[in-house]
Amino acid sequence: MKKGKMIILSGPSGSGKTTISKHLLSKITELKFSVSCTTRPIRNKEKHGIDYYFISTKKFISKIKKYQFAEWEEVYPKLFYGTLKSEISKTWNENKHILFDVDVKGGLHLKKLYPDNSLSIFVLVHSIEILKERLLKRNYENFSKIKTRLEKASIEWRYANLFDVTLLNINLYQTKKKALNLVSDFIYNRDDWT
């Protein structure tokens, strides 16, 4: 199997990871999105096999037992997310680099598995209040779920220093520009990527 590079975007829900991911994918043709598996229900406008592989908990656990995941987490009670090893090999065999949009534990696990060819980026906003506003604007989760995400975010922020780079997302335009520069420098072996 050929080895490409990995871009690992992590951070709390609502920090802007998905928006940054889409921007990077639109600008760097050699980059391919890693489609994760999840047991959560599909949301409006999401597509199976494009945004996620939406599978049952039973099927997810079966894949765990068969060691088919490079990383997986029970992110919230009875809500699993994971990256299939087959997604990584398929992307590298296409001579592409792979972009992950994963939770903090998953991101750190991938960085540990692939330390020499990964760039890990932690995306955050400057306050829990801003995160709360962003999650409320999404309009697809009840307040109980938002509260759970905010509690998790306050724990995840403690791990920011374990990533190669921390991106503070105050101005989305500037954050996307900085992310693009970092990732381009890393992929194209420019020395100033950190």
* 193 domain-assigned: no
In a domain, 78, yes or no: yes
46: in domain = yes
Tell me the C-alpha to C-alpha distance, in Å, between residue 67 and each of 11, 43, 56: 25, 28, 17
Distance CA 81, CA 142 (A): 20
Task: Identify the pLDDT of residue 141.
Answer: 67
Domain count, the chain: 1
Residue 179: how many other CB atoms lie within 10 Å: 25
Residue that wins the pLDDT comparison between 53 and 19: 53
Instruction: Confirm whether 1 is domain-assigned.
Output: no
Domain that holds residue 51: 6-187
pLDDT digits (tens, 9 = 90+) for 124-173: 887 667 666 766 676 666 777 767 776 777 778 789 899 999 998 888 89
How far is it, in rounded angstroms, from Cα 63 to Cα 179? 33
User: Residue 112 sits in a domain of what CATH number?
Assistant: 3.40.50.300
- Residue 137 sits at the vertex; the CA angle it makes with 19 and 183, to the nearest 5 degrees, is 15
pTM, to two decimals: 0.84
In this structure, how many other beta carbons lie within 10 angstroms of the beta carbon of residue 174? 12
